Structure 1
Amino acid sequence: MKELVQTVIKTIDSREIADMLGVKHYKIIEKLEGTKDGKYKGIIPILTDHNFVVSDYFILSSYKDSSGRENKSYLFTKIGCDFIANKFQGEKGILFSAKYVKKFEEIESENQESQNKLVTSSKLETQIAVLREYYTKIDEIKAHIDDFKNSVPLYSIECKELQALVRKVGIKALGGYKTPAYNNNSLRSKVYSDIQHQLRREFGVERYEAIKRCQFEIAKKIIEEYKPPTVLVNQITLLNSEISLDLAVV
């Protein structure tokens, strides 16, 4: 998890500073930049001349008035406000100090609340990511288990089910239970063997017990759709017919 780092520079707009002091905004700009006639040099030029970092105190900004025109303003840092407060004596200075200190406390509180929300959001996103990874791994494990279950050979009970189905289909192919063809052990064995041979040939296995579990339903369908070859059909038909004829003659 990446650490959440957020740097917030807490400032107050020079227009709000003007409101706190009860003066016109341009007066604040003059206090910072100096007057056009040069009679007052201004705070920023003096700081610049003595190699102070002006942005530690005042950050140049702008705003648009109601006509859409862009105007200059400054963002005051806390020490910038301290600087201006020292320029005003008496009641005005005291009230300004009280206002800007309270304002910075509100900003600090808002920033802390925002920071807490960001941290909470970050933790929530991390938890969601962990859960997604967790469920992805579970799905992968389930897929591996399913693959394993489907790739293993048939269970004993499934083999017995196929054997029972082979007998059922074989009896049908022989013309029914206890028919002459069915009672002929040699012919009956040929039919059962042929069904099993077809099943082994379809899946390329030596023993149909080696068929994979995922192929179980296909194996059942192959058995159910089994048709004996012509040579066996002829033998079955002939044997069942001969017995019938013998009975008819008698």
Structure 2
Amino acid sequence: MEELMDNELINTSAIETIDSREVAEMVDMEHKNLLSKIRKYVEILDGSKLSSPQFFVPSTYVNNQNKEQPCYLLTKKGCEMVANKLTGEKGVIFTAKYVNRFAEMEQKIKLPKTDREILFLSVKVQEQTAQRVDVLEEKVSDLEKSTTIDSSQQYTLERIAKTTVISALGGIDSRAYQLMSRKIFSNIWRDYKKYFKLGSYRDTLKTDYENAKNYLESWSPEVNTSLKIKEYNSQLSMVLD
């Protein structure tokens, strides 16, 4: 007898069904033999222009060898048809089993009947949908908070930092730039990483990108370094004079 991977009743398009593998266990029959009988029933029903899916819904499952195999989902009508073909004790026992199983399903999935029940279910579905949307938005927000800037944004920060440093040194042709540019570039990125608590400016979060640009635009060397810059540039002025 084939082993069921899931013994629960399956709900397909709001119609309660039982997997043919479970039915085969109920009637103590090989699943392949039950499939053969069901296929004959389906052929007869379709040939008589009756809707076979109202009785037997084609489906598949994956066996222990990870291969897809055919099966059917039997509605209550389908179970009744199978039961009618059984005689004696076996038919009585199967009828009792499938009736109990469908009763269990009806308790688990009770379809609304009155307008009040339908309205209640609609409100409940809307609430569940809203909760799922909230969870999804929260996940998206968390993702944004953990996403770092892209290469284009990295380049923009580099360009802003370069402009700020050149300005602080008095221009690219200044004496201070010639003597101190390497140190000042090191200082601006040191202060930047310390302020944003990063190992590298490339690790800047997208959510901090605007703040990062403002920081680099407004950055200036510390007092002692600023005095040194003025000193070097004033020496150059004296030489030119």
* TM value normalised by structure 2: 0.49
Q: Structure 1 length normalisation: TM-score? A: 0.47
